[in-house]
Amino acid sequence: MLLLHGYPTSSHMFRHLIPALADRYRVIAPDHIGFGRSSAPSVDEFEYTFDALARVTRGFLEAVGVEKYTVYTQDYGAPIAWRLALGTPDAVEGVISQNGNAYEEGFVPEFWEPIWAYGENNSPENEAALRPALEREAVQWQYLHGVPEPSRVDPDAWEHDLALLARPGNDRVQLALFADYRTNRELYPQVHEWLRSSQVPVLAIWGRNDEIFGPAGAEAFRRDSPDARIELIDGGHFLLESNLDDVVSAIRDWRASF
């Protein structure tokens, strides 16, 4: 089971999911370059694109001898997973997408408009509009919005992220990835063709109140994977923080079916 994290977190987001699945699966949760415990070279030393992150992840899988896997994607993990699948389609035995988009329908416009604008033109004005996304209020919001009982979310989650975001030069890393996100949309037709041709099993399990990737992004998987299992849970973007047991139960039941 390959777990690929999103922004602005790391494998830390899987700290409870890993032991919950480890009785049945070999669970691997790498940190992307620039995140968590992985190297965080400056933007002058490493080209921060989703192609580059996927290339490093592919090399990591080869190094640890992983040839077949079920992938759990969330947020940034999704475009990395799609690149892995397009590169070695037979390696992916199943897809779990937890608020990880593969369709235009999932983008909540109010959240994404400044990101698209910065990708088109990285002017000082467009950069200034995005910089609040790196700050405490926005990071904490990612964890708490759409969660019916916010007290269930451990504050250590966003404090961990904020500490790593504060590393010198990491702001430029994150801005580079914001700018590159537009390239992920260009891959979607190829991803849809892969889903159709492979009929790889899909579990789209979503915090239905997410104001970043809306629930339409989950429902859209049925277009190319008619047998996809869609689970919309009363939660937000980081569903594992508030609904771990629901996610674990769904994964176990779904994975046992093939």
List residues with catalytic annotation. Answer: 237
Q: What does each C-alpha distance from 206 to 112, 118, 237 come to in angstroms?
A: 18, 27, 8
Query: Residue 96 — φ and ψ, nearest 5°?
Result: -110, 115
Q: Which two tokens stand for residue 63?
A: 């190094």
Q: Rounded to whole angstroms, how far apart are CA atoms 191 and 185?
A: 10
CB 77 within 8 A of CB 8: no
DSSP string computed for 84-136: HHHHSGGGEEEEEESS---SGGGB-HHHHHHHHHHHH---HHHHHHHGGGGSH
